[in-house]
Amino acid sequence: MSIRLRDFELSIKAVREDGFFSGYASVFGVVDSYNEVVAPGAFADTLADRKTKGRKLPVLWQHRSDMPIGYYEIVREDEKGLYVEGYLLVKDVALAREAFALLKSGVVSGLSIGYWTRASTYDEKTGIRTLTKVDLEEVSLVTFPANDDSRVEAVKFKLAHGSLPSLPEFERLLRDAGFSRTQAATVAAHGLKHLLTDVGDPANATAASDLVKALQGFSLPPI
């Protein structure tokens, strides 16, 4: 089981100069790129657990766990989906001020949740999996609220939580580093694919993480 990212266009209900914003972090009944859909009630247990423990849900920037920029004061389910009201720490965090400016201007237009699937059902006829119980980890402000498998941030987020990226995610990372599509597919198929055969081995996760870190800032020399 690996952590998933799920994106939605940010339907902003309110924005205030003190950093307050509100909208929907998830919408029920929408099939995503994983061919999955979230059912009403899927967040009930995780929200109750956070409330009991007094844990605030963080606002992250682009799924970067090292870049918290605020917190959510209200996170609840309604008939539409997962409604949130949050505050960006515009007085104390420089990145939060920048994010807020981008949010107000419409440059940043998405919310994306990071979650673990705990229970689901599968329809063999449609090929759609319905998520009935999920554990919510964080909700990020994101620039591009679509195609989560294409973002390098998604790979970094998974590695930070002890998971391995998928082959398509890793191929994209290699292409961003300068490899051709064919080269990226070859490296991923003969390198990461071997590590994915035993995702329970901590050494494999470490090896994949080291490889991704080595690729950061790497580019191929001109031919």
Handedness of CA 148, 6, 68, 199 (dihedral sign): negative
pLDDT of 151 reads 46
Higher-pLDDT residue of 172 and 94 is: 94
Distance CA 130, CA 25 (A): 17
Q: Determine if the pTM surpasses 0.75.
A: no
Q: How confident is the model at residue 220 (pLDDT cuts 50, 70, 90)?
A: very low
Give the residue from 119, 115, 120, 148 showing the smallest Cα distance to 47.
115
d(CA 146, CA 152): 13
What are the tens digits of pLDDT across the range 79-96?
Answer: 999 999 999 999 999 999
Provide the pLDDT for residue 186.
72
- The domain segmentation of the chain, as residue ranges, is 4-147, 164-215
* Residue for token pair 């001109």: 222
Question: What pLDDT does residue 209 have?
Answer: 57
**Which SS3 state, helix, strand or coil, does residue 18 take?**
coil
Q: Which residue in 182, 176, 191, 169 sits closest to 4, CA to CA?
A: 169
- DSSP string over 137-177: EEEEEES--S-GGG-HHHHHHHHHTT-PPPHHHHHHHHHHT
Q: Report the Cα–Cα distance between both ends of the chain, in Å, rounded.
A: 41
32 falls in which pLDDT band (50, 70, 90)?
A: confident
Rounded CA separation 102/114 (Å): 21
